[in-house]
Structure 1
Amino acid sequence: MKSLSADHYRELLLSERPLIDLRAPVEFAKGAFPNSVNLPLMNDQERAAVGTCYKREGQMAAIELGHKLVQGKVKVQRQQAWKAFLDSHPDAILYCFRGGLRSELSQQWIAEVGHERPFIEGGYKGMRTFLMEQTDSITATTPMWIIGGMTGCGKTDFLKLRQDMVDLEGLANHRGSSFGRQVTEQPSQIDFENALAVQLMRHQQAENRHLVLEDESRLIGRVSLPLEMHERMQSAPLVLLEVSQQDRIERILRDYVINIAADFMARDGEEQGFLNFREHLLSAMDRIRKRLGDERHRELRATMEQGFDDQQHGNMDAHRHWIDALLSQYYDPMYRHQLEKRRERVAFSGDHQAVHQWLDQQAK
């Protein structure tokens, strides 16, 4: 089979089939599909030269230049990279930007080293359009429940126990607040949107009656939810988690202090990792300085710094103190103010167990 038509897009994306992205690294970095590996026909410089030639002299001259740039040892290197991947992933599928010349030429060269693999018609552009259409249609037709609650109430923990949810913060690799940055980088906007669309397709494939999502601003760190999807979330019913102040403090301590410190130290080594973790939390506190006011910011920052000293001796009380104060003086008043404007949307509230039971009843 030389190529796969648009009729295969859904199957390819849901089957987690390995994909070989033939585009240049600069194109791949802007966004690709889940399960893709970048094994380009041309590098960034070669692609730029061919593109310039195409604009000035037309397609035939550009094709001729491409063959001149990618020949001899360069061609062999590209072929060996494809062969090495296909030897261990023999079911992989090829794609370039539009499913045109780059796919056809790469397919020929791959055949020369012993692998016959199809490419995707329409390429990246076609599948990207398909995914955006899926996000719009699924979120337009699937009833939503939006899980809200005060900071630290465990919305993410709650969602991870459900089959009918899509984890937006997990896909964004960010906890959705000033303190929400992770040790690893967030995906590009396009990678986030593509992964989100695939997860929504999986949710649909599982025939869930409702889509359960965490209450989010449109921006989750530096990636943003699709506008139409976010607007629908803003009109969907709210379901609120209610937990004690002490439970919230302990959960924030675990997620934002203990676990993040461990992640930094695992990545950077114990000493440097702790220093980087320290800077990570102090920077988060500094980002909300204007909203806290100088005096309150100064007090909470000093308590946080004491917390770092005590943490190295196994004492977390100072960390608990600034977390408690930040919740009571900053996050909780802001949450209550926002909730008053959305009170009519609240469909149910309760502890984790009660909300799970209520949602399960709605799905029957």
Structure 2
Amino acid sequence: MQVSIPTISIIDALKEDAIFIDVRSPGEYEEFHIPNAISVPLFSNEERAQVGTTYKQIGQGKAIELGVQIFSKKLPEYYQTFKNIANNNKHKNIIVYCWRGGMRSGTVVSFLGTLKLPLIQLVGGIREFRKLVQAELEYFSTIEKQYIVLEGNTGTHKTDILEALQKENYPVLDLEGLAGHRGSTFGGIGLQPKSQKEFERDLVFRLRELQDSPYCIIEAESKRVGRIILPDFILKGKDAGVRIHIHSPIESRIKAICDTYQFENYHDEFIHAIEILKKRMKPNLYNQITESFNNRQYELFVKLILEEYYDPKYTFAADQYETPVRFVQIQGLEDGIEIVKTELNSIVKGMGLLTT
């Protein structure tokens, strides 16, 4: 007997004010999910691994039997969870998805549907959503846009200035914010770095918001931000962009970095990250850096690593560009925001771009 399962495409689903339910394992959900989707996993990470191993080693039949055995124990709680969601959202469609729109979401929708819960299965699962994200990235890669690039040595408030500009509705593309990473060896400490799929999902949503702007403002980044690889069209836009190079006193930079990274709260994590840099430094410098950090002389640690390691690397990278550059001198964040805004408005006006 064939069971009729109500379905919906990803295009139509995203047009609705619907509730999305992700029935994949917590690990799958964590790596990538539809924005605001609720995680109600059919299997735990360990259970999913067991079912997968059974499928590979014995076959589909035994894997289905194991899945049914695991799921049957959860039915009362699972039913109650979906019932509560349905009762609290009586005027919204509840759309259920798994990886490919196959057995997991189909089982949930068909079984709970017989218990009068109005669920809809997403055709193709989250894989169709992923295809949509990739297609939109390809589309945005074809749109010509002027890039204005904030650059400067580490600690010159570039990220803070970008965040302030975005709050004032400047067309900022905050790549580090979208990646959940500050872009250095220490960049993920204290944050929750995103997967490549999550980054591309959130990037597409931000590009949609900036679609009508003839320019966007980014920070000078390398090809990688943590484990994230930036799209080629953004890198090309950066390389051809107009640059604003920020200078700031070393004292201001040291304070900015200490405030941002909160070394005392993540001391052990930083010790591990510093060890990664050992092979890239001269032994004497490495010993000075580790000694100052272990002694919790954080300002000295920052001064050493800036002047002897990061600044030379950044200067070398900046010297490779031949695009127009404007140099600005700031004392701290507050005056930095105003000074950069003045330069931005001058660039936008001079290039005949629309103002925000």
- So what's the TM-score if we normalise by structure 2? 0.78
Structure with greater helix percent? 1
Q: 1:126 deviation in Å?
A: 1.0
Q: Between the two proteins, what is the percent identity of the paired residues?
A: 22
Structure 1 Cα separation of the partners of residues 109 and 65 of structure 2: 19
Contact map agreement 1:142 1:211 (CA 8 A) in 2: no
Would the alpha carbon gap of residues 93 and 46 (structure 1) be closer, same or farther in structure 2, given more than 3 Å must change? farther
Contact map agreement 2:189 2:269 (CA 8 A) in 1: no
Query: What is the DSSP-based 3-state SS (H/G/I as helix, E as strand, rest coil) of the residue aligned with 1:216?
Result: coil
Structure 2 Cα separation of the partners of residues 73 and 178 of structure 1: 45
Structure 1 Cα separation of the partners of residues 117 and 179 of structure 2: 36
Residue type matched to 2:12 in 1?
H
Contact map agreement 1:98 1:122 (CA 8 A) in 2: yes
Residue type matched to 1:330 in 2?
Y
1:281 and 2:266 are equivalent in the alignment: no
Would the alpha carbon gap of residues 123 and 50 (structure 1) be closer, same or farther in structure 2, given more than 3 Å must change? farther
Query: Which string of whole-angstrom CA distances, capped at 9 and with x for unpartnered residues, describes residues 116-158 of structure 1?
Result: 1333333211110111122232244152222211110111101
Residue type matched to 2:175 in 1?
L
Structure 1 Cα separation of the partners of residues 130 and 35 of structure 2: 12
Structure 2 Cα separation of the partners of residues 294 and 52 of structure 1: 50
Q: What residue is the counterpart of 1:325 in the other structure?
A: 304
Structure 1 Cα separation of the partners of residues 325 and 246 of structure 2: 12
1:218 and 2:207 are equivalent in the alignment: no
Q: What residue is the counterpart of 1:354 in the other structure?
A: 339
Would the alpha carbon gap of residues 292 and 63 (structure 1) be closer, same or farther in structure 2, given more than 3 Å must change? closer
Structure 2 Cα separation of the partners of residues 67 and 287 of structure 1: 43
Structure 1 Cα separation of the partners of residues 64 and 286 of structure 2: 63
Query: What is the DSSP-based 3-state SS (H/G/I as helix, E as strand, rest coil) of the residue aligned with 1:153?
Result: coil
Q: 1:322 deviation in Å?
A: 2.7
Query: Which string of whole-angstrom CA distances, capped at 9 and with x for unpartnered residues, describes residues 329-356 of structure 1?
Result: 22222211111111x2234332432322
Residue type matched to 2:184 in 1?
S
Q: What residue is the counterpart of 1:178 in the other structure?
A: 185
Residue type matched to 2:320 in 1?
K
Contact map agreement 1:26 1:44 (CA 8 A) in 2: no
Name which of 220, 235, 238 aligns with 1:233: 238
Where do 1:64-79 residues align within 5 Å?
65=65, 68-69=68-69, 72-79=72-79
Structure 1 Cα separation of the partners of residues 63 and 184 of structure 2: 49
Residue type matched to 1:284 in 2?
A
Q: What residue is the counterpart of 1:48 in the other structure?
A: 52
Name which of 200, 208, 216 aligns with 2:213: 208
Residue type matched to 1:210 in 2?
Y
Structure 1 Cα separation of the partners of residues 160 and 23 of structure 2: 38
Q: What residue is the counterpart of 1:290 in the other structure?
A: 279
Contact map agreement 1:33 1:191 (CA 8 A) in 2: no
1:7 and 2:11 are equivalent in the alignment: yes
Query: What is the DSSP-based 3-state SS (H/G/I as helix, E as strand, rest coil) of the residue aligned with 1:8?
Result: helix
Q: What residue is the counterpart of 2:34 in the other structure?
A: 33
Where do 1:1-364 residues align within 5 Å?
2-8=6-12, 11=15, 18-42=19-43, 43-44=47-48, 47-48=51-52, 51-52=55-56, 65=65, 68-69=68-69, 72-88=72-88, 91=92, 92-143=94-145, 144-161=147-164, 162=166, 163=169, 164-204=171-211, 207-257=212-262, 260-261=263-264, 264=265, 277-306=266-295, 308=296, 318-342=297-321, 344-350=322-328, 351=330, 352=336, 353-361=338-346, 362=348, 363-364=354-355
Would the alpha carbon gap of residues 101 and 156 (structure 1) be closer, same or farther in structure 2, given more than 3 Å must change? same
Would the alpha carbon gap of residues 357 and 137 (structure 1) be closer, same or farther in structure 2, given more than 3 Å must change? farther
Q: 1:94 deviation in Å?
A: 1.7
Query: What is the DSSP-based 3-state SS (H/G/I as helix, E as strand, rest coil) of the residue aligned with 2:119?
Result: coil
Query: What is the DSSP-based 3-state SS (H/G/I as helix, E as strand, rest coil) of the residue aligned with 2:96?
Result: strand
Structure 2 Cα separation of the partners of residues 302 and 341 of structure 1: 34
Query: What is the DSSP-based 3-state SS (H/G/I as helix, E as strand, rest coil) of the residue aligned with 1:247?
Result: helix
Residue type matched to 1:31 in 2?
F
Would the alpha carbon gap of residues 250 and 72 (structure 1) be closer, same or farther in structure 2, given more than 3 Å must change? closer
Would the alpha carbon gap of residues 286 and 45 (structure 1) be closer, same or farther in structure 2, given more than 3 Å must change? closer
Q: What residue is the counterpart of 1:267 in the other structure?
A: none
Structure 2 Cα separation of the partners of residues 335 and 184 of structure 1: 23
CA RMSD across the alignment: 3.2
Structure 2 Cα separation of the partners of residues 25 and 225 of structure 1: 26
Structure 1 Cα separation of the partners of residues 241 and 306 of structure 2: 26
Would the alpha carbon gap of residues 10 and 153 (structure 1) be closer, same or farther in structure 2, given more than 3 Å must change? farther
Query: Which string of whole-angstrom CA distances, capped at 9 and with x for unpartnered residues, describes residues 234-293 of structure 1?
Result: 343333223222221211121123xx53xx4xxxxxxxxxxxx22223333332223331
Residue type matched to 1:138 in 2?
F
Q: 1:201 deviation in Å?
A: 2.5
Would the alpha carbon gap of residues 338 and 114 (structure 1) be closer, same or farther in structure 2, given more than 3 Å must change? same
- So what's the TM-score if we normalise by structure 1? 0.77
Structure 1: gaps spanning 5 or more residues = 265-276, 309-317
